[in-house]
Every structure is written in C-alpha cells, then in structure tokens.
Amino acid sequence: MPFGFLSRVPGMRNVALYTSVPVFEPLPKVPDHPAIEEEILDWWEGQEIFAKLRRRNEGGPTFSFFDGPVTTNKPMLVHTAWGRTLKDVFQRYKALRGFDERYQNGFDCQGLWIEVGVEHDLGLNSKRDIEEYGLEEFARKCRDKVVWSANELWKGSKRLGQWMDWGNDYFTFSDTNIEYVWRMLRAVHERDYLYMGHRSTEWCPRCGTSISQHELIGSYVDRADPSLYVRFPLLDRPGEFVVIWTTTPWTLPANVAAAVNPREEYGRRANGEWVAVKRYPDETLVDRRPGSELVGWRYRGPFDEIVSVDHVVIPWEDVSMDDGTGIVHIAPGCGTEDFELGQKLGLPVLMPVDESGRFYDSFGWLHGLSTVESAEQIIGDLEEKGILVEAGLHEHRYPECWRCHTPLIFRLADDWFISVRDLRQQMLDANATVEWVPEYMGKRMDDWLHNMGDWNISRRRYYGLPLPFYPCACGHLNVIGSRRELEARAVSGLEQLEELRRPWIDRVPIRCDECGEAVQRVTEVGDVWLDAGIVPFSTLGWQNDEWVPEGNATGAARGLTTADLPDHAYWEKWFPADWVSEMREQIRLWFYSQLFMSVVLTGKAPFRKVLGYEKMLDETGREMHGSWGNTIAFEEAVDRMGADVMRWQYCAQPPDRNLLFGFGPAQEIKRKLLTLWNSVSFFVEYANIAQFTPSWSSLEPDAQAPLDRWLVERTHAFVVDAAGRYEAYRVDEVMTLFEAYLDDLSNWYIRRSRRRFWDEDQAAFATLWYALVQTLRVLAPVMPFIADHLWRNLVPDGPESVHLAQWPEVGEPDRALLDEIEEVRRVVTLAHQARASANLKLRQPLRRLVVEGANGASRHSAEIADEVRAKSVEFGTVEAQLHVKPNLPALGPRLGKELPAIRQALQSGDFEELAGGRFRVGGHELEPGEVLVERSGREGFAVASEAGLTVALDTVLDDELLLEGRAFDLIRTVNQLRKDEGFELVDRIVLTVPEGERDVVETHRDRIAGEVLATEIRVGGALGIAKS
RNA sequence: GGGCGAUUAGCUCAGUUGGUUAGAGCGCCGCUCUGAUAAGGCGGAGGUCCGUGGUUCGAAUCCACGAUCGCCCA
C-alpha cells in the first residue's frame, strides 16, 4: 500500500489519513508573489525554458511583431510596464499556439529626450553651454545615459516576466540604423520630395530648434499672456491711428503692416482711432468706411527709431471679427500666416530674434533681451511714446515645447522638409488595410493623415541622426545614401570617424557630384522619429545582400548588442508585422513615421494589426506627477504587489479607457487571485488524502456525473471563448471571461462537490484537475509566474513548464447544458431570496419548492433541492394571485393616449379574465402578447420572481422539519468548535451534547456523527468535544 | 477658436430599436452560509440619470439650447 496506513470509519465521511509523501505540494494560506516570481525566474533561466520554447516553435508559422523602441532616458516605469505586458501577453499567446517569433526588443537612443536629460545631469542649460562643454564629450555622455537606461529597462522587463531576445536588441543609434535612414532620405530625394523651406515655424528658444507638427501634440496649454492694444499714427491723416491687438509684444519691432478685412466696415473714434465697427458696436464711430478704403494708408511703425521700414495697411480677407480690433498686426518674421501673406504681397521680412529667442544686436536697446524679458520694457516704451491704448492679460491656449515646457515662439528658419503631397493618399490607402483596436484609433490616424503638413525633419541639435545633406555652392544638393558612399567621396577626416555622428561626421567633407568642390554637411540632425520609423527595414535587412553577423552592433551600439543585420530574404519573411502595440499618442509618432517610411520604400503598410491603449493615471484618476507624490516606482510595485498582479491589472484594462493604476485595485485583484489559489489549495489538500494521481496522457476526463460533465463543458467554453478574445487582441475580455469562469469553478462546482472530494470520488478529482490545468494554460500569457508555479505542482508528468504546454485543444462546448445550469443557478438565487423574505435560514429544511418558467432546470431538480434545502422540487404552475400588467411596447402603439387609463385599470384589478389568456379591460380586449401575467403571494408560500421565472417556497414547518433544522444547527456548531479548537481535518472526536438536544441526537445520530467525525455521542452535560 | 466624445450611486462603469421598479463591481451596514476561501449568498442605505425646454401615451435613451470635463485640431 503505497500511502501507508489508511483509517476508515464505517458510515463516516470517508476522510483518509495518509502517512507517506503527498503527490502535490501543499499550498501556504496566501501566495507570496515576489518570492514565487523570483524563484520561477531562476528556474526558467536554469532550465532554459524560453530557449526551449523558441526551439520548439522554430520553423512553425511566423508571428511577426515589431517592438516600438522605448526612449532610453529613464528607468523602468509602471507606465512602460503596461505596454511591455501587453506585448509579452500576445507574444506568449502566439507562442503557445506554436508560432515562430523574433522577440527583438528595441531602444530609441537619440534625439531631444536624451539630450535634455544629459543637459540636466550636467547642469547645462543652452546650446552655447553644450558647445562649450564639447560635442565629443557630450556625445559620450549621451551614450552613457542610453547604456544606463537600457540596463534599467532590461532588469525591469525581465522582472516583469517579459520574454524577449535580450542581448539581441536593436539600438536606433547604430550606424546601421543611421545608414538605413540615409538610404530612405536618398530615395525621398530621388523622387524630389525633399526640399529646404524658408518659413516661419514653431520654435523652442531654449532648445534652439524648430518644432515639427507632430511634436506639437498635446503641447497647447492655458496661459495668461500680455494683451496689448497699440495705435499706429497714420502718416497722411494727422491725428488718426489704426489700432491693433497683440499678445506677443516682442513681435512689434518686426511689424511691417496692418491688415484689415476689405469686406468689413471700419469707423473712427472721436480720438482718431480706427477700429472695426463690428468689434465695438456700442461705441460712437464716425467716418465709417469699408476696409477696402483703408488699404494703402501708410503709418509710422512702433519702433521706427530702431528699424526703419515702410508700414502700410493691407487687405486680408481672413481678418477675423471675433477678437482684437479687427485690424491685425503683421510681422512676417514672426508668424506662419504673416509670413505667407508677406510673401504674397512682397512685404519685407524682419527677423528680430536669434536661435535662443534673444533680440539681435541690430535691434538697438532691445538687443540681448529674450522674448519674455522684452515684454515689459516694450510696454513701457509704447506708453512713453503715447501709442499704447491698453495693456492687460489674456488667457488663451498657447503651445509649449513638449520637452522643456518653454513657450514656443514663431521664428523664420531654414528647415528641411519632406513633401507629403504625393504620399498622403498612398498613406491613407495603406492605412485602410490596417486593422486597428480600438477601431477609433484608426480613424485618428486617418484624421492625422488628412491634416498633416510637410514633414519638418531637421533639428538644430547635436545627438541625433546626422542629415546626409551636402548642399554645394554650385547649387547642387548632394545626398549621401550609405557609409560606403561617404567613404568613397570623402575629402578627408575618415580616420577620425568613430561613429556616423556629430562631431566626427562634421569633419568629413565630401566632393560635390556636380562640380567636384569639397562640400560640408549641413549641421542639422534628423527628427528622432526618422530613427524609429526605419526600424522595420534596418533590423530586418531590407535590400541587404549578405547576412552580416552582429551587423546591427555598429557605431554607438557596438558592444551593447549582438544583433545581426539579416539579408533581404529574412525581411521578406518577417515584413510586414502581423501586430504592433503602443499607446495612443504613437499614432502621430511611431505608427506614423513607420507608415511613412514603409509607404515610401514599399508602398505598403508596415503592420497588419495595431493595438493602441489610453493613458495611465493614479488610482484616483489623477496624472502621476513626481511633485504630487503619487507616482509608483516600478520596483515598489513589483515588491509590494508582484508582477503577476500588475500584469492582471494591465490586462484587465479596456484599451479605450484610461488605466487607474495603484495598490487599491491591486488589492482587489489579489483577492480574486486568492480564489484561484484556494481552489488549487483545496484540490491539493484532498487529492493528497485520496492519493489521486493525475495523468497528463489522459488529460480530459470521461465525465459521467452531471456536475462533472458540466464543468468539462464549462471549461471548454472558457478555453474557446478566451482564444477568441486573445485573437481579437482583447485580453481585457479574456480576464472578464476568466472571472466568470473562476466563480463558476469555485462557487458552484467545488462548493457543490465538496462531499464527493471527502468521499474520494476519483472522477471528481480528475475533473477538477482537468479544469485547473486548462485554466493555467489559458492564463499563462497573462500571469506567467503563478501559472508556472502551480503548473509545476499540478502536472508532475506533463511538459515541464506551462509555457511549453501549448494552447489547450478542446471540443466545442455543449452550450445547451451550460444554459441549463445557468437557469439552475437563477432558480437557486430566487429561492434564496424567497427564504430571506420569509426569514428562513438555510439550515432549516423545507418541504417543497415550486418552480415556474425554468424548464431546462427541471433535469437538475436534485441539485436544486440540495442547494435550497427543500425536500422536493416541483416544476409547474405557481398557484398564486394574478397580476396583469400591460406589455408596453406592444400596447403603446395600439392604445396611444388611452394607455395610462388601461394601465391603471389593470393595476387595480379592474379587469376580466377571458379564455385563452385574453383579458377584457376598459372596453378593450387584450391579446396574450399584449399583457404580462405574474402570480405571487400564495398563502403559506414565499414567492420570488424575475424575468419570467417564479419560485414559491412552502414555508410551513412541521416537527420533523424543525427537528432536522436543529440537527443542522448542532452540526454547524460542533464543526465551528472543531475549527476553533484547532482540530485536524481528520481528527475523530467524542461529542457531548446537553440533555436538551436528546431528541435531536436520537433521531439524527448517524448523520450528526458522520458530519462531525464523532466516534461517540454522549448526551448530558455541557456541549463539548474531545479527541477520541 | 473649430471638431469629436462624455456627464448615470461615495468611487469605477453598464444601460439594446424610447417601454414597466435604472443596474453591476468596489466601499459601507445588517443578516446568512461555510472543514478550500480574507471568498460566497441575501438584503439595506446610497440616484435631480448635468441643467432647461421640446417631441411622445411613455425619455437616462430622440431633438434644441446651455453648463462642465476630456480628447483631437489650430
């Protein structure tokens, strides 16, 4: 006998004793998630589980996923962990299904984010500071920052349980990646999309660079700026002025014109000031004239003593009558529309401020002042000159720099652009082939594509992709497409070219294609989204002839990765991505730049499906801000809740709503997780007692008992439905399914089956084991740690890890059976309600239950009787008082205004029942479909009903029932006592009951003894138990 | 400033083509069940369905206007 001595007491609950080693490891009361996770991480590594998984799936169907590169300027955050969890979940799911995957992680390593972080670390605060610090050293510090951040992200991601090919990551600052962008830019140039634009753009004076359209996302903030009304004296009309309004005083020195709407009416105030009539309807204005008559009037500019240009009133049909004076100050050097208007009319262009937003020396006493500093002095000066009409503050929305929050200015600059004229429609067509989850995000992409302007790709910065543009004095623009080409055409400087990067690359002039002269590179670097957008090409070896080992470990990425540069066949295999996933703001960023490049290079979309998701907030719905003290560090989250709980929280979140993340919600999840834990724990405890031995080879039980059959079908339904939701990239719906399934498993199957486990019913064990094992397989992608931890305990002879076990194959569930049990549970709920309304606790047995309107449940009457503790269950008509209500959707259209009266009549019982379920009321005959008939309130019965289902519980208690009720009370009391006194589950007792309980014991002795494991029951004396 | 969306219990949210007593989860209170469970079950308190007006026999739902919030665009 392998399990040693077994004791059985005849007629008792068959709880056996075991004395030898249990099959399953007993579970502690609660799981220690961090401890389990650390242990599993070690075990995965030691057993090379991930490597085994990849080997197994090698050569299988491919599932191509592109990882959007995370910016390497921060440690791991709980925000980052959300996205990483989603990426991991679906890659794991696809791996269970046998898909071959690449698992390449990516880092975004250049651009303003990195520079600004390093500037901050070094205490630098301007471009001049950086140049004084030295570009070479600055570049090294930027790389250090990237290395630090990459290490943090590796560490955190592994701790989160993310399975990626760590060590084969791509870094966007590799020379390889840079070369691929060059190649793309050259293709753009060959198609004539590339041009240098001289125009007024949003400009960050602190960063000293222009800001492109997609960088303006979310950058408008509410601000209070100066609001100035200024009058310009008219040269040919003494004593008269035009009055303008502005919120940017620093642009006044650049004024060259005042625009009026030629179609609107203007008038003169008594003091000589001209304004639009519509703007001042209550004022007395004389000499009214259409705007067209003001056109051509010359005026004296506000700063003529500094800059002398001719000022004139010009026509502009877009002048709005919604704010200001109806006359608009025009400074073509300081505004986009002003510039365009100026170009059309041939107005002079004045550029008042330099790259850092300070006035040029040529602006007299203003020189050196910043746009902000100058405001007050300009206001003072205008007042002194007597041309300031009014000064105040104006609240409006104004754009800030997305990185440093400096208010942007408009500044004329030479920037490099890619024209989107031809590409727009191609991109829209490509996007139409993409399936977006949630759907509205695809529409957002369309909106953006419809509205986007030409792409400003140049930044006047340092640590970024060097634009390979070499404009020659001869007028020819040389665009270098590869390192090889650079080397072939270099005049000098190759020996010092450490990386394709500033400052080294700036020391390599090339020979002009056209005239043969040496040409310098422009100093600009590229928009960081070029780096990220090229990834589907640079990492997959697009148009690369020969596979290059470690070919992506070039330039700054050398030593950080071992990623190869594959050949073109590999690109063909893995492009486009089957799926990508990032947060919503990436629509206009990474999703856009990827789409852009892909359309340029291939004419196709680079991905088939996209999962986008909204923002993360704290658990009260506020943004997480360091200064508000409501941020949660990744390490703290992992230590306090555990990675599985975090992952559940992320996965349960519908992607179209903000995630309210925190320890409160984590607590709720832990409670739910505990139900799963306890279900396994229950199984383990009793399976050990019953020496149940599971067998992986006969996984699915041949269920005979109705309840077992139900659980098997219920499990099939869960597996099938969960697969559907995974396939739709809605893991939140997988979690919803799981919660419902877990409730069924725990609060119906286990609760209903407890006695069978006590009785060592092997079929029950086999069924529960099957359900638990399948559950772990479904949950493995979401909670890889706890799933594997429990798997290793429950499945001794199957695959060593749940992640190697593949997605469960199950048959089509028997939905009809599931519906029946659904109905049973509704009947039980109603019966419990009826009990409560009659004040009858469940321990009191009742004579009978009558059920009406639940025919499917009739096959399970024993089940219902037991749950409700009724001696019998009848299915039939509940004879009760008749209530007739109007069926409003049916009767409303027919009766119209008469309806309230009929309704009233029915309610007060003022009707006559006719044959065939028809009723006569208030002169109308109502058909059966036009009324809702309910019965209730039968004498001696407690009735409850809901949606066509009615139950009636016989509440009459006879002596027999009362006595039995007392027996249940006694059992309950004694069992509580056993628990309180710390008795083992299998301890046998001698029970002593008071004299008053003699009648109960005499009638129900065997039942009581069996339920409380009493070998003997003594009557007389105080209630007590002792070990026998 | 323009466009889109939202506003329902203390919190997070459901609420079908307009229909009968507006729901769920969490939290709170009471009762109850329980030898896996910190769980479960039943009940209670808690609602100006943002406001005003309209259409309709009937409006959380449809229409108009307004308020507030969010997102996108400028």
pLDDT tens readout for residues A730-778: 898 899 889 889 988 988 899 888 888 888 889 999 999 999 999 999 9
| CA A76 from centre of chain | 17
The closest of A620, A621, A616, A656 to A634, measured between CA atoms, is A616
- Residue A437 CA distance to nucleotide B71 C1' (Å): 17
- Strand nucleotide closest to residue A986 (CA to C1'): B35
Dihedral sign of CA atoms A564, A567, A573, A576 in order: positive
| CA A804 from centre of chain | 28
Name the residue closest to the C1' of B56 by its CA.
Answer: A896
Which two structure tokens, joined as six digits, stand for A665?
A: 């919600």
Name the residue closest to the C1' of B31 by its CA.
Answer: A836
Which two structure tokens, joined as six digits, stand for A709?
A: 């059959």
The yes-or-no verdict on residue A17 having pLDDT over 60 is no
The closest of A152, A68, A17 to A690, measured between CA atoms, is A17
The yes-or-no verdict on residue A218 having pLDDT over 70 is no
CA angle A252, A254, A255 (to 5 degrees): 65
Report the range of poorest mean pLDDT among A475-479, A633-637, A859-863.
Answer: A859-863
Name the residue closest to the C1' of B58 by its CA.
Answer: A892
In this structure, the strands spanning A931-936 and A881-886 are: antiparallel
The yes-or-no verdict on residue A420 having pLDDT over 60 is yes
- Residue A725 CA distance to nucleotide B36 C1' (Å): 30
pLDDT at A733: 87
Cβ-contact A787, A776 below 8 angstroms? yes
Q: What are the tens digits of pLDDT across the range A782-826?
A: 999 999 999 999 999 999 999 999 999 999 999 888 888 888 887
The closest of A419, A527, A519, A506 to A478, measured between CA atoms, is A519
Q: Which nucleotides of B are covered by protein (CB under 7 A)?
A: 1, 11-14, 19-20, 25-27, 31-43, 56-58, 71-74
Report the range of poorest mean pLDDT among A54-68, A93-107, A206-220, A260-274.
Answer: A206-220
The CATH classification number of A660-806 equals: 1.10.730.10
Q: Which residues on neighbouring strands pair with residue A276, listed in sequence order?
A: A266
The yes-or-no verdict on residue A901 having pLDDT over 90 is no
Residue A1: burial class (beta carbons within 10 Å; 0-12, 13-18, 19+): exposed
CA angle A803, A806, A812 (to 5 degrees): 135
The yes-or-no verdict on residue A46 having pLDDT over 70 is yes
The yes-or-no verdict on residue A155 having pLDDT over 90 is yes
Q: State ipTM.
A: 0.88
- Residue A842 CA distance to nucleotide B29 C1' (Å): 22
Residue A155's H or E segment, with its range, is: helix A135-160
Name the residue closest to the C1' of B71 by its CA.
Answer: A218
Look over chain A and give the mean of its residue pLDDT values, rounded to a whole number. 87
- Strand nucleotide closest to residue A750 (CA to C1'): B36
Angle between helical axes of A861-868 and A815-837 (0-180°, round to 10): 30
- Strand nucleotide closest to residue A588 (CA to C1'): B72
Name the residue closest to the C1' of B20 by its CA.
Answer: A888
Scanning the structure block, which residue is given the tokens 């494991």?
A1013
- Residue A766 CA distance to nucleotide B13 C1' (Å): 39
Local confidence band at A12 (pLDDT 50, 70, 90 cut-offs): very low
Alpha-carbon dihedral of residues A421, A422, A425, A427, nearest 10 degrees?
-100
Average pLDDT rounded to a whole number, residues A720-739: 91
Name the residue closest to the C1' of B36 by its CA.
Answer: A682
d(CA A878, CA A937): 10
d(CA A116, CA A134): 15
Scanning the structure block, which residue is given the tokens 């008053």?
A996
For chain A, the straight-line distance linking the first and the last C-alpha, in angstroms and rounded, comes to 26
- Name A564's Cβ contacts closer than 8 Å, sequence gap at least 6: A168, A547, A548, A549, A550, A551, A552
Looking at domain A220-399, its CATH architecture is Alpha-Beta Complex (3.90)
Local confidence band at A940 (pLDDT 50, 70, 90 cut-offs): low
- Residue A725 CA distance to nucleotide B8 C1' (Å): 29
DSSP state of A910: -
Between residues A34 and A946, the one the model is more confident about: A34
- Residue A617 CA distance to nucleotide B68 C1' (Å): 21
For A594, other C-beta atoms within 10 Å of its C-beta total 26
pLDDT at A14: 41
- Strand nucleotide closest to residue A841 (CA to C1'): B32
- Strand nucleotide closest to residue A451 (CA to C1'): B73
Cβ-contact A298, A314 below 8 angstroms? no
Local confidence band at A18 (pLDDT 50, 70, 90 cut-offs): very low
pLDDT at A826: 79
In this structure, the strands spanning A209-210 and A194-204 are: antiparallel
E strands present in A381-437: 388-399, 409-418, 435-437
- Residue A393 CA distance to nucleotide B10 C1' (Å): 40
Local confidence band at A910 (pLDDT 50, 70, 90 cut-offs): confident
Between residues A726 and A1019, the one the model is more confident about: A726
In this structure, the strands spanning A989-993 and A1014-1019 are: parallel
3-state secondary structure at position A86? helix
Q: How many residues does chain A have?
A: 1028
- Residue A988 CA distance to nucleotide B48 C1' (Å): 63
- Residue A669 CA distance to nucleotide B28 C1' (Å): 20
d(CA A341, CA A313): 13
Q: What are the tens digits of pLDDT across the range A605-645?
A: 999 999 999 888 888 888 888 777 788 899 999 999 999 99
Cα A572 to Cα A446, A541, A543, A546, A599, distances in angstroms: 27, 9, 10, 14, 16
Q: What are the tens digits of pLDDT across the range A245-275?
A: 888 899 999 999 999 988 889 999 999 999 9
- Residue A835 CA distance to nucleotide B45 C1' (Å): 22
- Residue A336 CA distance to nucleotide B74 C1' (Å): 12
Domain boundaries, chain A: 220-399, 660-806, 821-954, 959-1027
- Name A557's Cβ contacts closer than 8 Å, sequence gap at least 6: A109, A170, A171, A173, A174, A175, A176, A177
Which two structure tokens, joined as six digits, stand for A791?
A: 């798997």
Name the residue closest to the C1' of B43 by its CA.
Answer: A836
- Strand nucleotide closest to residue A444 (CA to C1'): B72
In this structure, the strands spanning A616-618 and A659-661 are: parallel
Cα A533 to Cα A212, A449, A539, A596, A605, distances in angstroms: 16, 16, 11, 8, 12
Task: Pick left, alpha or beta for residue A940 (phi over 0 → left; psi -120 to 50 → alpha; otherwise beta).
Answer: left
Q: Which residues on neighbouring strands pair with residue A926, listed in sequence order?
A: A919
Which two structure tokens, joined as six digits, stand for A884?
A: 């007739």
The DSSP-derived string for A483-545 is HHHHHHHB-S-GGG--SSSTTGGGG--EE-TTT--EEPPPS-EE-HHHHHHTHHHHTTTTT-S
Contacts 24+ apart (CB under 8 A), A443-451: A444/A584, A444/A587, A445/A587, A445/A591, A445/A592, A445/A595, A448/A587, A448/A588, A448/A592, A449/A424, A449/A592, A450/A424
